[in-house]
Amino acid sequence: MLNIVRSILRILALALALALCASDRAAAQSTMAIDFEDAFSPEFMKRDVPTFKSILLLDDDQTSIIDALIHDYNEQFEQALRGVREDVRAAQAAMGVEDPEIDQQREALRGEIATMFEEMQRELANLPVGADAGEVRVKYEGHMKELQARLQQLQTSPMRGEQLAKLFDDASLRMERWRSERKAIREKFVADVNAVLRPEQQGRWPALERRLLRERTLGRGLLQGEGVDLFLVARDVKLDEAQRQSLATALTDYEMALDAGLRTRNETIENSEREIFKSVQRSDVDTLSALIERITQARVSVRNVNDDFAARLASQAGESGGAAGAIMEAYRQRGYPLVFRDTQALRLIKAAQELPGITPEQVQGLASLRSAYESELGPMNERVLAAVREHEPAQVALRETRRLLPPVPEQEAAERDRPVDSMRQAFNERAEMGKRYDAQLQAVLGEELYERLPRNQGGVPAAREP
């Protein structure tokens, strides 16, 4: 029961944050399986007026009218959203989380726990030679457990089962009603806009919707590669006019394929919402896992559209001026940063090449070391990429399931005992390769120069793999 209450609090707290701050998209970001950010965000905003004008080829009078229609749409959207705010506030109050004094006490205890953890980390990082790290951890963890026990005592009393069921069912029904209200407001706006468009402009409306949908929702990806906009990649890569023309057909096809993928993904999320609520309410992990797996596969489809069309754009740009390589490099760095960013070893070798006072022999040795490392890194990164594409979806699906229904102790133990998957193993192999080259780097530089590298002064952060 406690896990279910925590899940309800997590979902409704996020819903509240987004409902209350819907006009400030930076105020709260939905990273859960239920896309509250999309639910509480207007589809058309004043900043979209230039896009309307350029795609629909509006004259000045039409632009002024549509500007006013967007203003009216946002006012209607905000007025309807007020009802959702009131309902979500009522749900928050029903769970007893409205007591400001209790909230302050909780926050103070959380602050003490965080401060104590930071103190433990500092002491562990500066242990004298021969000191026992285990004793330090035991000392601090004992104090932190005492604080956590006090924090637990301040949690609200669990609600009765029938109260909990009604609260959750009411919340999910309210979300369904809100989405219907939101759709009706949208349909009225679209009808009003089309009433002021000429027939040829009405024919451009689907292109406008594809553009706005891409700009509004593409960035909400959870998988690597899912949130990249290839239009921006093609724009930012320096191409000549002939190369840009050679990509026109592929980009048109990409726009259509991506739009279909995004609509399927977004609709899958929205249509799963009520069943996700019910499965959390029933603590039904199997059903929840199946729902999130279905959503994740829709995300994979969007990622695959980007992967496939990045390769197509690169092939059609041709090799002139290195355009194909530039497109793929730009896409991979944006889409798969954990794979294709500079590794710790490469950053250190580059930093070593910039050190003052190195001898000509060291210059040559560093050049050879970098060449050897980069030659080995290329195939290694391809293996890491293959592992990420294969295994990341399952990782994300498990994480999202656990975010909504935290595992019981038996499940946590089973997950800890799972064998290392291929994705983790691939990153580990790359890290081990980096250690080999780090040792060679130290041999080339000698101890004194090696200690001057930025890593040893905090200038180059250690690589963080998933």
- Listing DSSP states for 300-362 in one string gives HHHHHHHHHHHHHHHHHH-SGGGHHHHHHHHHHHHH-HHHHSPPHHHHHHHHHHT-TT--HHH
Q: Which residue bears the tokens 């609709």?
A: 267
Q: 278 CB contacts (<8 Å, ≥6 apart)?
A: 172, 284, 287
pLDDT at 83: 78
Q: Is the dihedral of CA 226, 232, 238, 242 positive or negative?
A: positive
Reply yes or no on domain 343-457 having CATH 1.20.120: yes
CA distance 206 to 202: 8
Q: What's the whole-number mean pLDDT along residues 389-400?
A: 92
Q: What's the whole-number mean pLDDT along residues 229-249?
A: 91
Taking alpha carbons only, the member of 289, 273, 222, 295 closest to residue 11 is 273
Q: Which residue bears the tokens 């795609």?
A: 55
pLDDT at 374: 96
Q: Is the pLDDT of residue 440 over 80?
A: yes
Q: Is the pLDDT of residue 299 over 70?
A: yes
Confidence of residue 415 (pLDDT cuts 50, 70, 90): low
Q: What's the whole-number mean pLDDT along residues 65-72?
A: 96
Q: 426 CB contacts (<8 Å, ≥6 apart)?
A: 383, 384, 386, 387, 388
Q: What residue segments make up the domains of the chain, in order of their start?
A: 221-335, 343-457
Phi, psi at residue 221, to the nearest 5°?
Answer: -75, 155
Residue-wise pLDDT for 185-217, tens only, equals 999 999 999 999 999 999 999 999 999 999 999
Q: Are 313 and 250 in contact (CB under 8 A)?
A: yes
Residue-wise pLDDT for 155-191, tens only, equals 655 555 566 666 667 767 777 888 889 999 999 999 9
Q: Is the pLDDT of residue 102 over 60?
A: yes
pLDDT at 406: 80
Q: Is the pLDDT of residue 98 over 50?
A: no
pLDDT at 409: 65
Which long-range contacts (C-beta less than 8 Å, at least 24 apart) are formed by 370-375?
370/346, 372/437, 373/345, 373/346, 373/349, 373/437, 374/346
Half-sphere exposure of 217 (CA within 13 A, CB side): 28
pLDDT at 25: 40
Query: Best-predicted range by mean pLDDT among 39-53, 59-73, 280-294?
Result: 59-73
CA distance 10 to 18: 12
Confidence of residue 320 (pLDDT cuts 50, 70, 90): low
Residue-wise pLDDT for 335-350, tens only, equals 999 999 899 999 999 9
Task: Please spell the DSSP secondary structure of 114-174, one letter per residue.
Answer: HHHHHHHHHHHHTPPTT--HHHHHHHHHHHHHHHHHHHHHTSPPPPPHHHHHHHHHHHHHH
Q: Is the pLDDT of residue 328 over 90?
A: yes
Q: Is the pLDDT of residue 62 over 90?
A: yes
Taking alpha carbons only, the member of 381, 309, 313, 385 closest to residue 346 is 381
